[in-house]
Amino acid sequence: MLGDSTRCVEAVAVEGVPGDPLQRGPVFAAPYRLGEDELTESDTYARASNPGWRDLERALATLEDASAARVVGSGMSAITVALRALAGPGGVVVVPSDGYYQVRMYARDCLEPFGAVVHELSVPEFGDGTLGTVLADAPEGAVVLVETPSNPGLDTVDLAATAATCRAAGALLLVDNTTATPLGQQPLCLGADVVVASGTKSLSGHSDLLFGYLAVRDDTLLPRIDRERLLSGTVLGPFETWLAHRSLGTAGLRFERQCANAQAIAQMLAEHPAVAGVRYPGLPTDPAHPVAAAQMRRFGPLVTFRLDNADRFHRFVRSSELVVSATSFGGIHTTADRRARWGDQVAPGFVRLSCGIEDTDDLLADLDAALHTS
């Protein structure tokens, strides 16, 4: 198998002729010129499809080992498009109770009022038989969404086992692959039906755009997804499309450094007297490690730990020369987010650290100094 950087470069390569640029520029058209043959035109209006999307979608499908991919305006758009398109009226929807909090809000506020039966399960409940019990009472066609590693707890779901449970019940398994990326984990190869992800983060990686995508194992799901994207208008703009395609070529290099930094920082923090509760799936002592090691190729850029309180968090950021306080993650800069400010059910001093691409030794020295002086 080719290495990740080679795969990323090859995924965004386009065939051309001498004189063509190596990479096409953004496609800014919205309406396209129409011909007389009204049945065969592929591009009529950019909200349905356009050349820029198709270039990016082919690259994403290659990286996810998917039959096809579809881009949308954000990671949250990917989730909402998938749930609206695939969950039938009055159907059962399962979402993580300890994953990204806005997914639960969406399920409660926007799916339940239209008749969906929503169940919230924690990471352990996806593997202890609870999911099977929920699906046993559900009509065929239930939709199960898991997030692994979870955000922000970094717990892991056994995807192969969960996929088997879903198949036995006639349910569709959707996996939020944002944290791991296709360079760290390939859910479709482990039995998932659909991947949803925020490309805003590690894949685009420069903290300068929003985009999300869906990738499918079975093309028969595409008509429902395409129609939902078209009618909801949750689309990706032409410049963002080009930026994402441009950025994808360096994702392998960036993600490799981010993961190496995260591993080194997690090991340092695990022995640091100023912090507690360090979590990283790549640590052999982490409770998520056995499952992560079995299904992940890399363990991602996120490390979490606890400081004493919110004030200690802010003093830590002020004392650091390299860490910036910011939400989201996956960029080239190392950032820290105090997740309790957003309503996550975590301690006030809980920190989600997103490791950037700075030199490892510089980050280790800066973090250690900031923790000692704050």
**Could you read off the pLDDT of 229-279 as tens digits, one per residue?**
999 999 999 999 999 999 999 999 999 999 999 999 999 999 999 999 999
Tokens 């995260």 locate to: 262
Report pLDDT for 202. Answer: 97
Query: Of the candidates 337, 261, 332, 345, which has an alpha carbon nearest to the alpha carbon of residue 305?
Result: 337
Report pLDDT for 246. Answer: 94
More confidently predicted of 40 and 326: 326
> What domains are there in the chain, each with its CATH number?
4-248 (3.40.640.10), 251-373 (3.90.1150.10)
Is residue 259 within 8 Å of 184, Cβ to Cβ?
A: yes
For residue 330, what are its two tokens? 């996956």
Q: Band of the pLDDT at 136, cuts 50, 70, 90?
A: very high
One-character DSSP codes across 223-276: HHHHHHHHHHT----HHHHHHHHHHHTTHHHHHHHHHHHHHHHHHHHHT-TT-E
For residue 164, what are its two tokens? 């088997």
- Record the pTM: 0.95
Mean pLDDT for 30-48 is 86
Is residue 83 within 8 Å of 142, Cβ to Cβ?
A: no
For residue 12, what are its two tokens? 């965004």
Q: With 80 as the cut, is the pLDDT of residue 193 above it?
A: yes
For 364, other C-beta atoms within 10 Å of its C-beta total: 17
Which residues are registered as beta bridge partners of 195?
175, 215
More confidently predicted of 167 and 22: 167
Which residues are registered as beta bridge partners of 303?
353
